[in-house]
Amino acid sequence: MKEDRRRAVFLDRDGVLNAPVLVDGKPHPPTSTSRLELLPGVSAACRRLKEHGFLLIVITNQPDIARGHATYATVASINQYLGELLPLDAVYMCVHDDFNNCECRKPKPGLIIDAAGAWDIDLVASVMVGDRWRDIEAGRSAGCMTVYIDRGYSERAPAGFDARVPDLHGAATWILQRRPRLNEREAAP
């Protein structure tokens, strides 16, 4: 890794930072800022990661916009409000659904790659944290290490993650304990 390149923790939004709305065991986003509830320990975990020099970038699928269940303005206001509550550096959002076959919708890594280019991020020295298989697959495809927050959803579980934890506090602890290993990955040819 070049010394001037940055490290990031890419964070899914719903289920990682804020409480999802569960319907039949599957997570859905909150419908307004008044319904946004930070998960316990998220603020402290984000501060710890920032103190150790990581950029915090949200990578979120928001297909309810394409499905007509939410407006872009509503989702953008939720993202902005989340940025007021947490020390986030950026939010990258896909507003498409699977049928659009876009490059930005997770599990494709388009948003992560776009963020890496814009922020001069070394993907090998970075981590994707998510609570769904799409998050983990996107992170792996981008070349990041991956941390799966297991919320016990009634859906397909991810495979091939580097760590499984119960919450963002656990993810931050794992990331910070492995920081020397991230440096070793950088030095590999």
Instruction: For the chain, list the domains and their CATH numbers.
Output: 8-187 (3.40.50.1000)
One of 12, 131, 135, 162 is an active-site residue; which one?
12
Which of 18, 43, 25, 15 is closest to 149 using CA atoms? 15
Question: Which residues does residue 61 pair with via DSSP β-bridges, in sequence order?
Answer: 94
Could you confirm whether 24 is annotated as catalytic? no
Could you confirm whether 14 is annotated as catalytic? yes
Tokens describing residue 54 = 């990581």
pLDDT tens, residue order, the chain (189 aa): 445 789 999 999 999 999 999 999 889 999 999 999 999 999 999 999 999 999 999 999 999 999 989 999 999 999 999 999 999 999 999 999 988 999 999 999 999 999 999 999 999 999 999 999 999 999 999 999 999 999 999 999 999 999 999 999 999 999 999 865 555 544 454
Q: Chain centroid to CA 61: how far? A: 10
Count of C-beta atoms within a 10 Å radius of residue 82: 21
The reported pTM is 0.92
